[in-house]
Amino acid sequence: MDRRHFLATALLAPVAAPAFQAEKSKLKITGVRLVKTKERKAPPEYTPTAGSWSTGGVEVANPMSIYPEYKAQRSLFMSDDPALGGFTVEVSTDKGVKGYGRGGPAGGLIVEKHLTKLLMNEDPFNVERIWDIMWRSTMYYGRAGAVVNAISGVDLALGSRRKRAQHAGVQAVGR
């Protein structure tokens, strides 16, 4: 099942084919790696108004709320290992065009240890094929959580790469 069919079925609405679907580029994916990023600007300081909702020092409902020892804060039950946190993936091509995508918790390990070998030498414009390969190859992990976080990060990197390629003058050619 391709992504468009999946989305059309899930949303019960037809989804138009993107303009680039019939295009084939002369690019090949030559690198996939996790990169560390840092914010260009520090986030603005925020002090909640007295009496307003805030996660700092206030009990917040979470999946572990039924256990008193974990109820107070997510940090009490979430992993402390940075490898299981959010990630940024860089997808690079043989022409030097790079794309970056952010993914959620634990997805980075799946990208790094599993999906990388499947992405190498693929045409980064062929997003339907790449998405289907990622979706099918990860079925045995499940259909939620880390797998979706991994696929999303790569999908975002391919989308940002496509925009960068077009700005750099690298054009896709018709099949």
* pLDDT tens for each residue of 45-104: 877 777 666 656 666 677 888 888 887 777 888 888 888 889 999 999 999 999 999 999
Q: Are 33 and 93 in contact (CB under 8 A)?
A: no
Helices (H) and strands (E) in the chain, counts: 6, 5
Position 173 scores a pLDDT of 45
Q: Residue 158 sits in which domain range?
A: 24-37+84-168
Position 164 scores a pLDDT of 58
Q: Is residue 139 part of a domain?
A: yes
- pTM of the model as a whole: 0.69
Q: Is residue 12 part of a domain?
A: no
Q: Is residue 134 part of a domain?
A: yes
How far is 164 from 175, CA to CA, in rounded Å?
A: 21
- Residue 127's nearest CA partner among 7, 10, 8, 25 is 25
Q: Is residue 145 part of a domain?
A: yes
Q: Is residue 175 part of a domain?
A: no
Domain count, the chain: 1
Q: Is residue 18 part of a domain?
A: no
Q: Is residue 102 part of a domain?
A: yes
Bridge partner list, 100: 90
| CATH code, domain with 146 | 3.30.390.10
Position 163 scores a pLDDT of 59
> What is the full DSSP assignment across 11-26?
HTS--PPPTTTTEE-S
Whether residue 14 has pLDDT greater than 60: no
- Residue 125's nearest CA partner among 151, 148, 149, 91 is 91
Q: Is residue 19 part of a domain?
A: no
